[in-house]
Amino acid sequence: SEAADQLGLMHYMEVMRLITVLELVAPTPDENVTVTDTEFNNVPVRLYLPRRAPGGLRRAMLYFHGGGWCLGDAGMKGYDHLARRISNELNAVVVSVNYRLAPQHRFPVPFEDVYSVTKFFLQSKVLSQYGVDPARVCVAGDSAGGNLAAAVAQELLEDPEVKTKLKAQILLYPALQALDLDLPSYRDNAHKPLLSRSLMIRFWSEYLTPDPALREAMASNSHVPAEAGPLLQLVNWSRLLPAGLREGHAYAAPGPGPARAYPGLLDPRAAPLLASEARLRRLPPAYILTCEHDVLRDEAVMYAGRLRAAGVPVTHHHAKDAFHGAMMFVQWPFELAVGHRLFNSFMDWLNENL
C-alpha cells in the first residue's frame, strides 16, 4: 500500500480495500435467517431477519463495521457471520450499515450515513414493519464502527425528532479521540497487530482532512490547536487511567499545532470522548470491550470511566491476552480461542441486557 501510494499508482486506502473485496460474501439466506441488501434512507444496508416465529416483538441491532472509516463492508465474511449469529441466536433484526468511506467521503459523511439509517429505523412505523420492540434496540460497532456507535448514541440525545430511546450501546475496541496519540497504549502497542500507531494515525488523518500536514503533526503528537486547551483534561490519561495502565509512563501533554482545528478533531461526533458530562449522563448502558495489546485500549478505558462517573451502567470487559480486532477471529482459517471467548462473552451480555 505504501509503495503504490508513494509511486502515485494507487491511493494507499484503495490498495488496502482490495483486502475487503477478497472477503466479500453474497447476501445469502440460510435456514435460520433471511439476508437482503437494501437501502434505508438512501444508505446501503445488509438486513438480517430471523425466519423463526417471533413469539412477541423482536430485539434489534444497528451494526457499524470497522476499518478506520476508510475500509470495510457489511458484506465481509466476518461481519456477515457476526450479524447472522446475532439474528439467529437472539431472534433479532440486524441492520448492518454500509456507510460511505474516506478519503472519498471524509467526516462527517460516514457519521451522517449511520445516523441517517439509525434515525430512519427508529421510526415507529419502521420498527412496527419489522416487528421490533422499541424498548429493545441497540447500536453496536467495532473500532471505527465503535466510534460511530458511540457518536450516534450521543447525537440521538439531542434530536427532538427521535422518540425511541436506545436500550444499549456496544463499543468493541472503539476509537474515541485524536487529541492525544501518545497514550501509554499507543506507546506500548505501536507495532502490534492488527493496528499499528502509524496506521491509526493514517486512518484519523484520512477521515478528517486531505491535508498531509495533519498526519505529520499527529506522528509527533503536536497537532493540538490552542482552542483545544480546555478539552485536554478529558484525555489526560495521568488522571483518568487506572494506575496499572499508567505504570512506567510519564505524562507529556500533546504539543501545540495549527492555529485552527481541522474539522472533526474537537467534534464529539468524531471524538465521543470529548463530550461533556452533562451529555454522557443521559446515555444508555454500555458494553465496552478493550484489548491489552491495542493502541486504542486507553481511550476506551477512559470512556468507560467517564461514563461510570456520569452514572451510566457500564460493563467493561478487558481482555489481557487479546489484540485489536481479536473478536472477529472465529472462522477458519483465522480462528483463535480468544476470538471465540470474546464473541461468546459479547453474545451472553446481549442476551441478558438487550
Active-site residue flag, 294:
yes
**210: nearest Cα among 319, 325, 104, 88:** 104
* Dihedral angle of Cα 241, 226, 190, 208, to the nearest 10 degrees: 110
Q: Which of 87, 96, 143, 185 is catalytic?
A: 143
Find out whether 344 and 83 touch, Cβ atoms under 8 Å. no
**Integer Cα distance of 281 and 159 in angstroms:** 16
Q: List 290's β-bridge partners, or say none.
A: 318
- Dist CA 230 CA 66 (whole Å): 30
Maximum C-alpha span of the chain: 59
Please choose, from the candidates 218, 223, 224, 180, the residue with its C-alpha nearest in 3D space to the C-alpha of residue 201: 218
Catalytic status, residue 80:
no
Tell me the C-alpha distance between 200 and 179, whole Å.
13
Q: How many residues does this entry show for the chain?
A: 354
Residue of 65, 223, 293, 324 marked active site: 324
Active-site hit among 180, 182, 294, 298? 294
Active site residue 324: yes
Three cell numbers, residue 284: 444508555
- The closest alpha carbon to 304, from 142, 144, 176, belongs to 176
CA 333/CA 70 separation, integer angstroms: 25
Q: Name the residue with cell 423482536.
A: 58
Positions marked active-site: 143, 294, 324
